[in-house]
Amino acid sequence: MQKIIGAKGKIQDIDSFLKKIVTLSSRYDMVIQVVNADFVYGKDHLFSAVEHTIRSFKNRMNSLKSLSLEMLLYASGERQIQKAIEKIGIKKGNQKIAFIFIKANNRKISDDEVEHVLSSLNLKRDDKVLEGDVDTLKRFGITEDELSTIPESKYGDLLLEKVALVDIVK
């Protein structure tokens, strides 16, 4: 099962933050990935990244051995992990963060687990950070020319296309 949520808070030290994520992932027997929500255009963006990641592992087409890092490639639309981290990795300071939680065998992710993860990281849930806008698309690398080719109601499709293109450029 998968769950995607947004949160806000201040990150003092990235290494310490990521170590806590690893510890919490182990404690709850799930994959937890975090990305900079300034580059997220809705939950569909991240659900698509999860689907592509899982499919790449099933078909043995994954580039990386880690499910969470492979997910970062797809979520960023990049094929190199360093570029993916630079693009959508979390930064020090006040942050809007998107969380992706995955449990194997379709096991449910409880609200208590999510709340404990957020409180352990001193973050407050805020799903509004996942909504995205035209500026989000531009930060992601989508150009005015690309935006002008489709109606606004289809803007999210441009980003989903970037996620899907990772399969082709791998």
pLDDT in tens, 122-139: 999 999 999 999 999 998
Mean pLDDT along residues 42-71: 94
CA distances from 138 to 101, 142, 155 (A): 26, 5, 11
Quickly state the pLDDT bin for 36 (edges 50, 70, 90): very high
List the CATH number of the domain containing 164: 3.30.2380.10
Q: How many domains does the chain have?
A: 1
**pLDDT (average), residues 157-165:** 87
Q: Is the pLDDT of residue 170 over 60?
A: no
β-pairing, 31-36 vs 93-102, is antiparallel
CA dist 51 → 2, 8, 37 (Å)? 10, 25, 19
* Distance (Å, whole) CA 151 – CA 129: 23
Amino acid in position 15? D
Domain of residue 134 covers 2-169
pLDDT above 70 as % of the chain: 99
